Amino acid sequence: MKKTFNLAVLPGDGIGPEVMREGYKILNILKKKCFINFNIHEYDIGGIAIDKFGSALPKSTLLGCERSNAILLGSVGGPKWKHFPDDEQPERGALLPLRKYFNLFANIRPSVLYSELKSLSPLRHTVIHSDINILCIRELTGGIYFGKSGRKYNKNNKKYAFDTEKYYESEIERIAHLAFRIANTRKKKIVSIDKANVLSSSKLWREVVDNVSKLYPHIEVSHLYIDNAVMQIIKNPSQFDIILCSNLFGDIISDECAAITGSIGMLASASLNEKNFGLYEPAGGSAPDIQGKNIANPIAQILSIALLLRYSMGLFELSDAIYESVKKTLKMGYRTFDIIDNQNDYITTSHMGDIISNTLIKEI
């Protein structure tokens, strides 16, 4: 009998449960057709968990995740819980502690511009003539977001604020190793982003990436300053394969890459720890403006399952098959509301899930 893979499913709020329903269709196909022994348990997280248990991340959810090999998340948050104190709100109260608890130090975000959706990109056709497939690998648990920060008064009673960027060599090493290992499965090319002409933390970043690169001589590595990198991504995105960056720079760059692809509803992300335990989720939020209308794009949720297969289960071919099914579905002209162009009508969330599922069944 095949080994059981315990999966914690956390649909969350807003469109989370709607797109997760489509995710379940894919999981069921993988179970039935590929005999993957998923042992799935569903838990509450975010606003719905506040309503039921008084906490955005109840103990039962955390325990369930702990007993699992990976987490598949929908999204959390919404106007209903906006009046809660910052730390108790769905995002701050659930996602940050979850990332911290499982030490998810690496965030991986693929930005793929499908040829069928090129008209949605804000970039000119002459710039996006070739395929765009960028994998942004961002350090997630260190750097300026976790350094000392605060507000003070100097001796002349002038108010100031400060934030501190601090990186341990070991923190840079582990994300660099991960990037090199992933590069091995792609185009063997990494661009590392920093500001080494000014920042000490960036100087160490560059030094460590160079040192780690000596262990992977077949991977090409180059460095760009952040200011140049944001320009290069707009001018010629096809030149990039893997972009490796710190927490702060990754926050900015991953959104820039996302914008090039047209819709947030297409983007999935993975956050990993050192044991390949991962949290897989759409990059977007709970989209309260379209909640309950059956028009949300389920592709990001479906592709987060493709990332789960790749990064926590090592099932590369099945992961590629999901990407291929999405691509074929788009090629056939099916579009949800957010990716519609002049030539197509839009279909519902559930219809999109059905078409991708049927395509996947033929693909595997």
Q: Which residues bind ligand NAD (CB under 6 A)?
A: 15, 19, 75-78, 91, 95, 264-265, 281, 284-290, 296-297, 300, 338
CB of 271 to ligand NAD, least distance (A): 10
SS3 content of the chain, % helix, strand, coil (to 5): 45, 20, 35
CB nearer to ligand NAD: pick between 34 and 264: 264
Active site residue 327: no
Q: Which string of DSSP letters, residue by residue, matches 145-204?
A: GTS-EEEEE-TT--EEEEE-----HHHHHHHHHHHHHHHTTTTSEEEEEE-TTT-HHHHH
DSSP 1: -
Active-site choice (188, 225, 251, 354): 251
Q: Which is nearer to ligand NAD, 64 or 213 (CB)?
A: 64
145 is catalytic: yes
What residues contact residue 212 under an 8 Å CB cut-off, 6+ apart?
Answer: 173, 176, 177, 180
Considering the complex, what minimum distance in angstroms separates the CB of residue 240 from ligand NAD? 24
- Catalytic site includes residue 338: no
Active-site hit among 13, 24, 114, 195: 195
Contact 321, 330 (CB under 8 A): no
Q: For ligand NAD, which is the closer residue by CB, 44 or 281?
A: 281
Spatial distance between the Cα atoms of 336 and 147, rounded to a whole number of angstroms: 41
Q: Which is nearer to ligand NAD, 82 or 235 (CB)?
A: 82
Minimal distance, residue 292 CB to ligand NAD, in Å:
12
CA distance 244 to 194: 9
Chain position carrying tokens 């960027």: 165
Q: Bin 34: left if φ > 0, else alpha if -120 < ψ < 50, else beta.
A: alpha
Least distance to ligand NAD, CB of residue 19, Å = 6
User: For ligand NAD, which is the closer residue by CB, 207 or 354?
Assistant: 354
Q: Which two tokens stand for residue 300?
A: 């990001």
Residues 6+ apart with CB under 8 A from 85: none
3-state secondary structure of 266: helix
Q: Choose, from 131, 210, 227, 341, the residue flagged as catalytic.
A: 227
Q: 16-34 and 299-311 helices cross at what angle (nearest 10)?
A: 50
Nearer to ligand NAD by Cβ, of 48 and 183: the residue is 48
In the beta sheet, which residues pair with residue 40? 7
**Known catalytic membership, residue 195:** yes
- Active-site choice (145, 166, 225, 346): 145
Least Cβ distance, residue 73 to ligand NAD (angstroms): 7
Nearest 10 degrees: CA dihedral of 286, 287, 291, 296? -100
CB nearer to ligand NAD: pick between 64 and 78: 78
| Alpha-carbon gap, residue 293 to 274, rounded angstroms | 39
> Closest approach of Cβ 298 to ligand NAD, in Å?
7
Catalytic residue among 25, 189, 241, 255: 255
* CB 115, min distance to ligand NAD, A: 20
Residue 92 and residue 95: Cα distance in Å, rounded?
6
- Active-site residues, by number, are 145, 195, 227, 251, 255
